[in-house]
Amino acid sequence: MDFKKAQTDKFWLGAVISSFSSQMQIKMSNEEFKAKLEAIPNFELAEIAQKALNKLCSTGGQSFTMTVPPRIDDTDIILSEVIKRFELLAFITE
């Protein structure tokens, strides 16, 4: 077998497996999703948001993610949760 063809076949096989596994995501209810998101500790959420922001800056915004169904690590979900928690904190301290 030609080495170059083997590499191409390996690439496509990896892409198919990746696509299949992302389609096989475990579906959870809205309540389960919210509970999982709320279970992330504040310090960990801040670290995740900071990494997402750094990646957005270094890629010129190309790393932004927003999927359907949503994933916990989507950029829009992480930043929205940070804003929600900040608003709650600001409301409590006023």
Rg of the chain in Å (alpha carbons): 18
Asked if residue 83 is part of any domain, the answer here is yes
- Reported as a single tens digit per residue, the pLDDT across 6-50 is 555 555 655 545 554 455 456 889 999 999 999 999 999 999 999
- Reported as a single tens digit per residue, the pLDDT across 68-86 is 999 999 999 999 999 999 9
Contact 53, 16 (CB under 8 A): no
Asked if residue 6 is part of any domain, the answer here is no
pTM over 0.95: no
**Domain extent at residue 55:** 40-93
Asked if residue 71 is part of any domain, the answer here is yes
Asked if residue 89 is part of any domain, the answer here is yes
Contact 79, 86 (CB under 8 A): no
Asked if residue 5 is part of any domain, the answer here is no
Q: What is the number of structural domains in the chain?
A: 1
Asked if residue 34 is part of any domain, the answer here is no
**Quick one: DSSP state of residue 69?**
S
